[in-house]
Amino acid sequence: SQQGEEDPQALSIQEGENATMNCSYKTSINNLQWYRQNSGRGLVHLILIRSNEREKHSGRLRVTLDTSKKSSSLLITASRAADTASYFCATVYGGANSKLTFGKGITLSVRP
């Protein structure tokens, strides 16, 4: 069963604006990861945040994790048209070969 639930399911913003996407999950986790998928393509790993971390940055990306609320957010600052894609959060619980459990995804459209 799917673990993560992203919110909103679809987001449309103007280029230059910030995009915030939220993810909630149900069980304990080792880490939470965000992936991006362009239409009809595979997934690209964006960022990983461990359960003992609260915030992480990578370029224009900022991820937060609140384990007490079982939620995470992905912020993309100064969005670009090229950021248009689907974004998925995925959680991992268990050992090194544990599987990723994906949320339903958020479709982000950035208007030029």
Partner 1 sequence: GAVVSQHPSRVICKSGTSVKIECRSLDFQATTMFWYRQFPKQSLMLMATSNEGSKATYEQGVEKDKFLINHASLTLSTLTVTSAHPEDSSFYICSAREPGLGSWEQYFGPGTRLTVT
Query: CB neighbours of 85 closer than 8 A, spacing ≥ 6?
Result: 36, 37, 38, 39, 107, 108
The minimum distance between CB 25 and partner 1, in angstroms, equals: 13
SS3 call for 94: coil
Q: Which is nearer to partner 1, 14 or 98 (CB)?
A: 98
Dist CA 30 CA 32 (whole Å):
7
Q: Which is nearer to partner 1, 70 or 87 (CB)?
A: 87
Q: Which is nearer to partner 1, 71 or 91 (CB)?
A: 91
Q: Which is nearer to partner 1, 13 or 102 (CB)?
A: 102
The minimum distance between CB 4 and partner 1, in angstroms, equals: 9
Binding-site ranges for partner 1 (CB under 8 A): 2, 30-31, 33, 35, 40-45, 48, 88, 92, 96-97, 99-105, 107
Can you tell me which residue has the tokens 């070969």?
97
Q: How many CB atoms lie within 10 A of CB 89?
A: 30
The minimum distance between CB 16 and partner 1, in angstroms, equals: 27
C-alpha distance across the termini of the chain, in Å: 37
The minimum distance between CB 108 and partner 1, in angstroms, equals: 14
